[in-house]
Amino acid sequence: MEKLCGFVATLLFLVSLLFNGGAAARALNKNQDASEEWGYVEVRPKAHMFWWLYKSPYRIENPSKPWPIILWLQGGPGASGVGIGNFEEVGPLDTYLKPRNSTWLKKADLLFVDNPVGTGYSYVEDNSSFVKNDVEAANDLTTLLMELFNKNEILQKSPLFIVAESYGGKFAATLGLAAVKAIEAGKLKLKLGGVALGDSWISPEDFVFSWGPLLKDMSRLDTNGFAKSNQIAQKIKQQLEAGEFVSATDSWAQLESVISQNSNSVDFYNFLLDSGMDPVSLTASTLAVGASMRKYSRYLSAHKSSTPDGDGDVGSLMNGVIKKKLKIIPENVTWGGQSDSVFTELSGDFMRPRISEVDELLAKGVNVTVYNGQLDVICSTKGTEAWIEKLKWDGLQKFLSTERTPLFCGNDKITKGFKKSYKNLHFYWILGAGHFVPVDQPCIALNMLAAMTDSPASASARKAKL
């Protein structure tokens, strides 16, 4: 059945490349098995956000069950979810347009957006329309959700789960709160199932302080390298306390450079690898602000051996056959995996923490899932554990004292990870995975997704709007 559904989805996609016509803001491919929609929403004057919704062909296997929708938020800031998350991580097809066996469509419908405006296919008509902080980005995303959900009763029946990766976690936390407030005010007709923060940049201070100890324990830094790293981390801490966020972003880039020089260019997305293993990526020793995040998509396309489904040149794909398929992308808009303009405009917010937003989500009863790859550096598990311990949520101490349970996949009895849950907070330790958990551990990621969308807190969200 799965092979048949995958074949049908691929056939529909390829046929649509030839026959999908019209210049409308939405384009559709529909039958009883699968469908796609995409379009633009002008979230503010001169600010146009692109979205792409896939309806799962696997929903027909259990048609009576409310089928969840995953809103995928990429990192960067300025990395394209429509390109990277879709074709390189969890979408139905890889960058060779071959079916992805580990697509998240097996568990949910998928909604990808290029967020913030100026990212990927999203665009602004003038530079004054770029967002300057996470809250502005969340407001734009809320406007997008209003446009998609408020007039669509079918979408309103399905719980929406906001799933984020990397810097996308900051967008997810702020969007989660903005969405809850809009729902409570009657402005957004939506069931919020939960928020998931995958290897997320929630507390930059905790992460930069984690890099030195982690890499020293892993023998990528010696005592001298650790001392240099810690000195810059202390400088960042002082800058953050003084509210000097742009300077802290500059120091962050300096810290990555120092770590690279003293670790023989460790890969910030997987400490078992060298950045130099990726022939097209910049090493941290040549970093300018934002260059590290430009390696985001290049890491995925370079390490083909770790990607079961394979991947090719996503840039050529997005600016070639996909742009031709979609038809509505303006000629002057060129897709890029990472927008330096978006990163630069957000440089004053890049190092700002969003722990309090996670606290508010928990206090409001929103289901929050946190997951982290064991091998990640930039958003390390050590740093994630540190910011979680700073939560003021009244269930924190019970959560911390709860025992973990091991995770397995299929008949394989090798430990793939651990999980801890208390009330509406859930934490997953994913073994053998770096920054990109769905790529490195697709089986455990799908199991986690199933648990997240079927949890009691999620079920209650399906029955009643927040």
CA 393 to CA 367: how far, in whole Å? 13
- DSSP for 252-315, please give it: HHHHHHHHHHHHTSEETTEEEEEGGGSTTSPPGGG--TTHHHHHHHHHHHH-GGG-TT----HH
3-class SS of residue 193 = strand
* Nearest of 86, 59, 80 to residue 439 by alpha carbon: 86
DSSP 8-state code for residue 90: I
Confidence band for 154, pLDDT divided at 50, 70 and 90: confident
Overall average pLDDT of the 123-135 stretch: 95
Q: Does pLDDT of 377 surpass 80?
A: yes
**Token reading at 168:** 């996308």
Convert the pLDDT of each residue in 293-331 to its tens digit: 444 444 444 444 334 443 478 999 999 999 999 999 999
Question: So which residues are the catalytic ones?
Answer: 166, 376, 435
Q: What is the pTM of this model?
A: 0.87
**CB atoms inside a 10 Å sphere around CB 316:** 12
CA dihedral 230, 235, 240, 243 (to 10 degrees): 180
**Token reading at 450:** 């199933």
CA 455 to CA 445: how far, in whole Å? 15
> Which residue do the tokens 């090719």 mark?
312
Of the candidate ranges 18-27, 72-81, 300-309, 389-398, the one whose mean pLDDT is the lowest:
18-27
The amino acid at 381: T
Overall average pLDDT of the 155-168 stretch: 95
User: What per-residue confidence (pLDDT) applies to 466?
Assistant: 36
**CB atoms inside a 10 Å sphere around CB 324:** 11
Task: Give the fold, CATH level 3, of 2-203+350-463.
Answer: Rossmann fold (3.40.50)
Convert 410-422 to b/e letters by CB count within 10 Å (16 or more is b).
Answer: eeeeeebbebbbb
The domains of the chain are located at 2-203+350-463, 205-313
The amino acid at 341: S
User: What per-residue confidence (pLDDT) applies to 61?
Assistant: 61
Q: Which residue has the higher pLDDT, 66 or 307?
A: 66
Overall average pLDDT of the 128-134 stretch: 95
User: Considering the chain, what is the average pLDDT of its residues?
Assistant: 85
CB distance 435 to 446 below 8 Å? no
**Token reading at 216:** 């020293």
CA 311 to CA 87: how far, in whole Å? 8
